Amino acid sequence: MTEETYISVDVETAGPNPGRYSLLAIGACTLQEPPETFYAELSPLSPDFTPEALQVSGLSLADLEKNGLPPQEAMQRLEQWVRQVTPAGHRPVFVGLNAPFDWSFVNDYFHRFLGHNPFGHSALDIKALYMGLTGAPWQETYLRALAERCGMRLELSHNALQDALDQGRLFRCLLEQARAQTGAGQIPFATHGKEPR
């Protein structure tokens, strides 16, 4: 069986769907302590945006046009980082809080600019894991409920890296609880070339 390396990913965007709106920032981290991290801000592909999206992230399309990475370069850097932190023989697994949203942008950009996605064709959603673990309905899978289950107090910062770090902690906690309930034992949060702490 192929071992898995879980990677928490979060994005900030100019709107609700790829194709029309741009991916503006990507944050990612591994799950061991201390985590290895990735962060990039991207130059926008179009001037389209929704005011709410830019308001919550605090990002500026004008600033990103000047200072953001070209999307192809950003995705090349992300792929290189994913391969660097994924040990030989392991499969990288994209983990997100409301993964369908973040996945849709990352997958679109990987295929658009590189022609492939190093995560493959699927993602793992923390909200769905929480539903399976607790039996909670979908409407109760909000961040505060998940954080309370793990004894944490978290607020979305809408900084892609900070949110990736926070949701990575949540995922690790919930997965450990799920493994304990099923008797599956400890989770090997693999690191590249060293044992997890």
Cis peptide before 34 (omega within 30 of 0): yes
Sheet (strand 124-125) strand order: 37-41, 23-30, 3-13, 90-96, 124-125
Domain with residues 3-182, CATH architecture:
2-Layer Sandwich (3.30)
Domain boundaries of the chain, sorted by first residue: 3-182
Output the pLDDT for position 185: 56
Rounded Cα gap, residues 154 and 117, in angstroms: 30
150: number of Cβ within 10 Å = 16
Residue 154: predicted pLDDT: 83
Catalytic residues, which ones? 158
- Reported as a single tens digit per residue, the pLDDT across 64-110 is 999 999 999 999 999 999 999 999 999 999 999 999 999 999 999 99
Beta bridge partners of 94: 7
Q: Are 40 and 77 in contact (CB under 8 A)?
A: yes
pLDDT, tens only, 103-147: 999 999 999 999 999 999 999 999 999 999 999 999 999 888 999
How many C-beta atoms lie closer than 10 Å to residue 126's C-beta? 22
Q: What is the pTM of this model?
A: 0.91
The torsion angle over the Cα atoms of residues 10, 12, 13 and 17, rounded to 10 degrees, is: 30
